[in-house]
Amino acid sequence: MNESQEDERKIATTLDSRLNQTLKNVQGLLKGRSIPGKILLSRSPPDNSNSKISNNPNSEISSPSYKRSFSHNDASPSDHTSGAKEKEFHSTSKPISIANASKLKVSTSFGGNLPEEIRKSTMGARATDSARVMKFTKVLSETVVILDKLRELAWSGVPDKMRPEVWRLLLGYAPPNSDRREGVLRRKRLEYLDCISQYYDIPDTERSDDEVNMLRQIGVDCPRTVPDVPFFQQQLVQKSLERILYAWAIRHPASGYVQGINDLVTPFLVVFLSEYFEGDIDNWSMSDLSPDTISNIEADCYCCLSKLLDGMQDHFTFAQPGIQRLVFKLKELVRRIDEPVSRHMEDQGLEFLQFAFRWFNCLLIREIPFHLITRLWDTYLAEGDALPDFLIYIFASFLLTWSDKLQKFDFQELVMFLQNLPTDNWTHQELEMVLSRAFMWHTMFNNSPSHLIN
């Protein structure tokens, strides 16, 4: 063996050792053990002369071009990691594309007892502090908004007041060019109004049997939408949901209306209504708004829902193959990250489709408190076209929050637990931990699947 081959062997051995240790650390984290110090993930600056980033949305490089930061890492490293040992992991596979950055660093401190200053540094608080608002203001005030910069900021949470504008931009509903924005929104809102006039505001005698049945099913589902939030029980709110869903179904005949899409409208409705209401959502009343305002809000919801689902069309076509594919990938990821949980669930005969299908169908809206949904969706929308693949990591992190409990339950207990997860009292802190773990696993493993093979 020559010297070059020997060096390559040593490098490979070192990398394997580091990744194996990372897996142990992650499994330790899921069992409630803290990881000493911090994990530092980084990569070397790319060689721009030789690197080629694929523009193919189906390529393995599924992360959009921006970096992300997390609430628990905002304190200075010297505040809570003094003397800690740093471990650096360099990607040995395809690099993650990072816009305007030479390397990606994610410093994550985990454990049951977080320092008080880190506890206070939740993303919910960050999304309202003046410095963060200034960053968003600077990006949004540009004549042409740089979407990569906006995604980078939005991934970690959007200030409430800015969320409607940011979401419209992230989804491509509003153009980044400020000179065109007002005109485009006006035209698309008029198009929605025309659609409602043409397809919804007509007697049933002018609809096909399928359309009558579809409208009837939507009418049944609207009162069931987020039943624990009184706001959604208002008649005007349910009527708005009905119009939005029917318009979407008519314009998307390949799938038509599928139960679960009604849940996906709710974050958009709340966010775009927030431009007209303040305070607690329980005090909002649609009757305080003019018909024109309600129509504009519905149009924004319809267009943004369409943009979101454009990248998930096969999630809602016959047999919903897109969701089934992602559920299979989730099962594989959980097996590789936490093999004891995976083996126990398999021994008990529990199939991932029995609980995870609803997670993908409704994007966790039914699993976590509604007041956390918009924060979660900041990250969803910031992921852009890469969202479906990143959902696998979020849902794996969400499931393995209860790793120890899951291993103690029999089949019946597993089913009951996973259908009624104890998230009622969750705060932004628990949600940020889920997103942080998801990001960490995605960064380490998504483009290096061979390192996860047993």
Whether the per-residue pLDDT at 39 is higher than 50: the answer is no
Closest CA to 163 of 306, 369, 377: 377
Q: Give the neighbor-by-neighbor strand order of the sheet with 106-108.
A: 86-89, 38-41, 106-108
Rounded mean pLDDT, 425-453 = 84
CA distance 37 to 31: 17
* Rounded Cα gap, residues 113 and 111, in angstroms: 6
CB under 8 A, 24+ apart: contacts of 18-25: 18/87, 18/89, 19/89, 19/444, 19/448, 19/451, 21/87, 22/87, 22/89, 22/444, 23/337, 23/452
pLDDT band at 13 (very low <50, low <70, confident <90, very high): low
pLDDT at 48 over 70: no
Q: State the pLDDT confidence band at 445, using cuts at 50, 70 and 90.
A: confident
Specify the residue for token string 């966010």.
Answer: 271
Q: How do 86-89 and 38-41 pair as beta strands?
A: parallel
Q: What is the pTM of this model?
A: 0.74
Q: For position 129, what pLDDT does the model report?
A: 80
Confidence of residue 213 (pLDDT cuts 50, 70, 90): very high
Phi, psi at 32, each rounded to 5°:
90, 5
- CATH number for 178-310: choose from 3.40.640.10, 3.10.129.10, 1.20.1250.20, 1.10.8.270: 1.10.8.270
283-301 pLDDT tens trace: 999 999 999 999 999 999 9
Q: What percent of the chain has pLDDT over 90?
A: 66
Helices 339-347 and 321-337: angle between axes, nearest 10 degrees: 120
Q: Is the pLDDT of residue 237 over 70?
A: yes
For residue 52, pLDDT over 60 is answered with: no
pLDDT score, position 444: 85
How does pLDDT run across 78-136, given as a tens digit for each residue? 333 333 333 333 333 333 332 333 223 333 333 333 334 334 344 444 555 889 999 99
Q: Which CATH number fits domain 321-452: 1.10.472.80, 3.90.550.60, 1.10.645.10, 3.40.50.300?
A: 1.10.472.80
Quick: pLDDT tens for 239-266: 999 999 999 999 999 899 999 999 999 9
Name the residue ranges covered by the structural domains of the chain.
Answer: 178-310, 321-452
The pLDDT assigned to 15 comes to 46
pLDDT tens string 156-203: 999 999 999 999 999 999 999 999 999 999 999 999 999 999 999 999
